[in-house]
Amino acid sequence: MYEITEKQELAHTVYLYKIKAPLIAKKRRAGQFVVLRMNEHGERIPLTIVDSDEKAGTITIIVQEVGKSTAILGDMGAGDSILDVVGPLGKPTHIENFGVAVCVGGGIGTAPVLPIAKALKAAGNKVISIIGARTKGLLILEKEMKEASDELWVTTDDGSCGHHGFVTQVLQNFINEGMKIGCVVGIGPVPMMRAVANTTRPYKLLTVVSLNPIMVDGTGMCGSCRVTIGRKNQFVCVDGPEFNGHEVDFDELIMRNRSYIKEEKSAMEEFTYHEGDKCYERCDK
Amino acid sequence: MSGPKDAKPKQGGRQSMAEQPPLERIRNFFEVPLGYTPEQAMLEASRCIQCKKPLCVGGCPVNINIPWFVRLIAEGKFSEAARKIKETNGLPAVCGRVCPQEDQCEKVCIIGKKGDPVSIGRLERFAADYEREHGEAELPEIPKWTGKRAAVVGAGPAGLTVASDLVKKGHKVTVFEALHTAGGVLMYGIPEFRLPKKIVQSEVEFLKRMGVEIVLNAVVGKLETIDELLADGYGAVFVGSGAGLPNFMNLSGENLIGVYSANEYLTRVNLMKAYLFPEFDTPVIRGRKVTVFGGGNTAMDSARTALRLCPEEVTIVYRRSREELPVRVEEVHHGEEEGLRFQFLTAPKRFTGDRDGRLIAVECVKMVLGEPDESGRRRPSEVKGSEFQIETDVAIVAIGNGANPLIPQTTPDIKVNKWGNITVDQDTGRTSKKGVFSGGDIVRGGATVILAMGDGRRAADSMHEYLMTGAW
Ligand SMILES: Cc1cc2nc3c(=O)[nH]c(=O)nc-3n(C[C@H](O)[C@H](O)[C@H](O)COP(=O)(O)OP(=O)(O)OC[C@H]3O[C@@H](n4cnc5c(N)ncnc54)[C@H](O)[C@@H]3O)c2cc1C
Ligand SMILES: Cc1cc2nc3c(=O)[nH]c(=O)nc-3n(C[C@H](O)[C@H](O)[C@H](O)COP(=O)(O)OP(=O)(O)OC[C@H]3O[C@@H](n4cnc5c(N)ncnc54)[C@H](O)[C@@H]3O)c2cc1C
Ligand code: SF4
Ligand code: SF4
Ligand code: FES
């Protein structure tokens, strides 16, 4: 059992947790993730390690409620325990001094961008970050990203905060202005990552994206997470999660992520779950 | 054929075992063969003529003293029989169920020369079940601590055997397992209806009671490397990480929704209990028509699982003919009783899907068998122009597994062969790295439970010697 030591609400349905997992806290590096299973009946879901505190022996994760498993986690708070936490999984981000690194985070994707921005900064890069959300209330980690970056740009789809529009428009402006960019890191919803890759493709800018396919074990044993990268099948949990954005078959990833939409919907509709002899029911009314 | 098999005790001849009738069992995941009654077990055991030079013992990879335990059963001393078996086999309830007995101990049984051999596997299962169900499993005596520690990577049959043998020699043993449950393929691969998971877990519990420490959710190489384990005070390390890397066929459309590796399909259903969705949260696509590619244990387990999940039709597509099927005859028989279809001499060419990317069909081609290849099996080749479509919405690719690469990647001084299998000294299980031993599927590629256990036993002996003397 892995105890939750702290919980914060960052935005509507977005929570930050600190979880006691001393060995993972010691080992993890930017770009890696954990797989969690909340209870005996639960599924295994992957979540990025956003930060860690070696002294306290905790790791930090940030999660958005999108379905049943994340909703179960959303109902948990400090003092509760998660049944299984496995990690650190995946390859760490390749970090070097690229000169100027642009870090682009869309929605919940800002969470995985944060540790990478920090690591790039520590390696001597000038870090320029762009974070975006649908609306002001959903914007997360603005303060933390500001601290980790030399410059921070904010966008919202509805103009309620910062630049009115998409993160890619700001990125395009940098390119148009002739900024010498050494590397672009883009993480967020798959369509946003595809847009980032499409923005940088004509200029052959090194572009790293972090993929979020459906996983089961997270250790390379099942192939559920396979995605076509440059015509080759790769297992995101062991070969990734980060890949060259110009080689990713995003359409296939979007398609595969819809494998279980029917089942996911019915799971939310019949949302009851058990913990010992306690029975929880949840209504979306 | 339907209705329960005749399983009444009969005088003379081999005792058959009661089974769930096919039409009933394809609607549940309960075990298919129901086991002997004590009366049947004693009758069956009395068929053994207690050979002076028992050939059966040589046919068993861990050399169980078969005549001895069989005699104890004939005398009605069931728990004693179980203890006798456990002297050389730590997982009798498992092996009695999943060993390919007809190719091992029973193949060479002298009674089999004229009629049916003694049902050694079923008797082994009976004794182990009896002991467990009557709560008569006795802890062996654990000697005083030698002061030495050993680490085991992977809680499959190989790793569990090493752990059991080393604690019995007085060492402290910690097993690191990547998944949230110990058991390896016994938990995530072999289905509930062939090997109930509570049996595996009771074996694991037994090990814990003997003092073995099992750390779950620990991916060695990621959390701690082998070098770190050695530096942490573990005097020796056993790597039993299995052959868990699924092979795909590299055909067009293989990433469509509904195409699974057997590992994913079986893991979802067995380990994550997708057959109980939505009570359990992990889903699996059940499909209307399921096609399985391959001809081994894994293909058969996937197909028989699909028969229980899919309402209409399950077909195994195999590129050779029935004679070449590597799977156990008993399993083919069980599958066919349950309505499984076979499409022999057929190979897939490509998968096609609908607008949403969901699988709708697989294009196949007919094959003919030519000259024998280096493995001695006749090589299949395509019949030009014989392409045809099979309508299917779930496809399961069960063409074997490669070696799990994580340990070799993070421990470069462990030598592997060109397929990525760890190379070891056969007699001792030593790898190229001092203090590190290995065995089971990571060494052999896909093999069997009992061979993995045999490797574990040999490795444990040499680990003991190494821990005590330090001589490499
Ligand atoms: C490497 C990686 C890192 C991730 N990091 C984060 C993170 O830091 N914060 C965060 O909020 N989310 C993250 N995700 C996504 C997160 O895993 C999914 O949101 C979560 O699994 C959804 O589960 P659910 O039951 O709540 O939703 P469901 O209703 O089951 O699914 C909602 C959607 O989530 C995706 N999904 C479903 N099951 C899985 C699964 N087992 N594995 C992966 N995706 C799945 C599907 O696309 C699905 O359509 C990450 C995913 C990956 C692969
Ligand atoms: C579907 C299927 C059906 C089968 N049916 C039969 C049968 O009927 N009869 C028979 O005799 N054999 C059968 N086999 C073969 C048999 O199961 C294997 O030969 C046997 O399980 C091998 O044992 P092992 O201990 O080497 O590896 P495994 O059972 O594969 O166990 C390896 C364990 O190591 C863990 N692991 C891997 N990497 C790490 C790491 N880095 N850190 C920590 N842990 C790690 C894995 O999670 C796993 O639990 C079948 C196999 C399959 C797949
Ligand atoms: S372990 Fe397997 S081979 Fe050995 S006696 Fe038992 S069934 Fe036969
Ligand atoms: S070979 Fe057959 S008859 Fe002889 S001891 Fe073994 S089981 Fe009994
Ligand atoms: S999640 Fe199973 S191989 Fe990646």
Verify whether the Cβ–Cβ distance B406 to A85 is below 8 Å. no
Q: Report the CATH number that the domain containing residue A70 is assigned in CATH.
A: 2.40.30.10
Ligand 4 center from residue B190 Cα (angstroms)? 29
Cis peptide bond prior to B311, omega within 30° of 0: no
Q: How many CB pairs under 8 A join A and B?
A: 110
**Can you tell me the distance from the alpha carbon of B471 to that of B449, in angstroms, rounded to the nearest whole number?**
30
In chain A, what residues touch B285 (CB-CB under 8 Å)?
Answer: 259-260
* Number of residues in chain B: 472
Architecture of domain B18-133: Orthogonal Bundle (1.10)
**Is residue A273 pLDDT above 90, yes or no?**
no
Superfamily grouping for domain B149-244+402-469: FAD/NAD(P)-binding domain (3.50.50.60)
pLDDT value of position B2: 37
- A173 CB-near residues (< 8 Å, 6+ apart): none
Ligand 4 centroid to Cα of residue B101, in Å, is 13
Is-contact B73 B128, C-beta < 8 A? no
A225 CA: distance to closest CA in chain B (Å): 10
Q: Which mutation among A59, A65, A70, A75 tests ligand 1's pocket best, with the greatest number of atoms within 8 A of CB?
A: A70
Q: Which of A33, A59, A69, A219 to mutate to test the interface with B (most CBs of B within 10 A)?
A: A219
**Does a structural domain hold residue A192?**
yes
C-alpha B445/C-alpha B74 separation (Å) is: 38
CA of B111 to the centre of ligand 4 (A): 7
Based on the number of CB atoms within 10 Å of its own CB, is A212 exposed (0-12), middle (13-18) or buried (19 or more)? buried
Residue of B nearest to A27 (CA): B223
The band of A271, judged by pLDDT with boundaries at 50, 70 and 90, is low
Distance from CA of A87 to the nearest CA of B (A): 7
The last residue of one of the domains, among A39, A67, A89, is A89
Rounded to two decimals, the ipTM of the complex is 0.92
Query: Cβ of A27 and B222 within 8 Å?
Result: yes
Task: Answer yes or no: is the C-beta of B120 below 6 A from any ligand 3 atom.
Answer: yes
B193 residue type, one letter: F
pLDDT in tens, A75-129: 999 999 999 999 899 999 999 999 999 999 999 999 999 999 999 999 999 999 9
Q: Judge if A24 and A109 occupy the same domain.
A: no
Is the domain of A22 the same as that of A62? Answer: yes
Taking residues B367-395, report their average pLDDT. Answer: 89
Q: How many domains does chain A have?
A: 2
Residues contacting residue B204 through CB under 8 Å, at least 6 positions apart:
B155, B160, B182, B183, B214
* Distance from the B430 Cα atom to the nearest Cα atom in chain A, whole angstroms: 25
- Determine the residue of B51, B101, B108 to mutate for testing ligand 4's pocket, defined as the one with the most ligand atoms within 8 A of the Cβ atom: B51
Residues whose CB is less than 8 angstroms from the CB of residue B154 and which lie 6 or more positions away in sequence, other chains included: B175, B176, B177, B178, B184, B239, B240, B241, B242, B440, B442
The answer to whether the CB of A218 is under 6 A from ligand 5 is yes
Structure tokens at A168: 């890619």
The per-residue pLDDT for range B280-293, each reduced to its tens digit, is 899 999 999 999 99
**Cβ contacts of B66 within 8 Å, gap of 6 or more:** B48, B54, B56, B57, B60, B105, B120
Domains of chain B by residue range: 18-133, 149-244+402-469, 248-399
Answer yes or no: do A159 and A113 share one domain. yes
CB atoms within 10 A of CB A269: 10
Q: Do A117 and A41 fall within a single domain? A: no
Residue B346: predicted pLDDT: 95
Rounded CA-CA distance A148/A82 in Å is 30
Average pLDDT on A55-81 reads 92
Both A153 and A77 in a single domain?
A: no
**Chain B contact set for A34 (CB, 8 A):** none
H and E: helices and strands count for chain B: 17, 18
Query: What pLDDT is stored for residue B1 in this prediction?
Result: 35
Q: Are B453 and B158 in contact (CB under 8 A)?
A: yes
CA pair distance A86, A217, nearest whole angstrom: 9
DSSP codes, B46-112: TT----SS-HHHHHSTT---HHHHHHHHHTT-HHHHHHHHHTT-S-HHHHHHHS-GGGTGGGS-GGG
User: What's the pLDDT score for residue A159?
Assistant: 82
Which of A89, A122, A143 is at the close of a domain? A89
Domain end point (choices A89, A123, A158) = A89
Domain spanning B248-399: which CATH class is it, in words? alpha beta
Distance separating alpha carbons of residues A186 and A208, to the nearest angstrom: 6
**How many alpha carbons lie under 13 Å from residue B266 in its C-beta half-sphere?**
30
Question: What confidence tens digit (pLDDT) does each residue in B93-116 have?
Answer: 999 999 988 889 999 999 998 889
My answer on whether A124 and A195 are in the same domain is yes
Longest dimension (CA), chain B: 71
Strands A33-37 and A151-156: unpaired
By residue count, chain A amounts to 285
Rounded CA separation A227/A211 (Å): 9
**A241 close to ligand 1 (CB < 6 Angstrom):** yes
Q: How far apart are CA B317 and CA B302, in angstroms?
A: 12
How does residue B4 score in pLDDT terms, banded at 50, 70 and 90? very low
Give the mean pLDDT of B29-58.
Answer: 92
Residues of B in contact with A217 (CB under 8 A): 178-179, 267
> Is the bond preceding residue B100 a cis peptide, omega within 30 degrees?
no
DSSP B354: -
CA angle A262, B393, B22 (to 5 degrees): 100
Q: Are residues B357 and A89, on separate chains, in Cβ contact within 8 Å?
A: no
Smallest CA–CA distance from B252 into chain A, residue? A231
**Hey, what amino acid is at A118?**
K
pLDDT, one tens digit per residue, over B400-434 is 888 888 898 899 899 999 889 999 999 999 999 99
**Longest CA pairwise span in chain A (Å):** 62
Residue of A nearest to B217 (CA): A86
State the residue range of the domain holding A56.
Answer: 2-89
Percent of chain B with pLDDT over 70: 97
Residue B389 to residue B308: CA distance in whole angstroms:
24
| Domain identity same for A75 and A104 | no
Closest CA to B105 of B127, B124, B84, B132: B124
Distance CA B341, CA B339 (A): 6
* Domain B149-244+402-469 and domain B248-399 have a common topology: yes
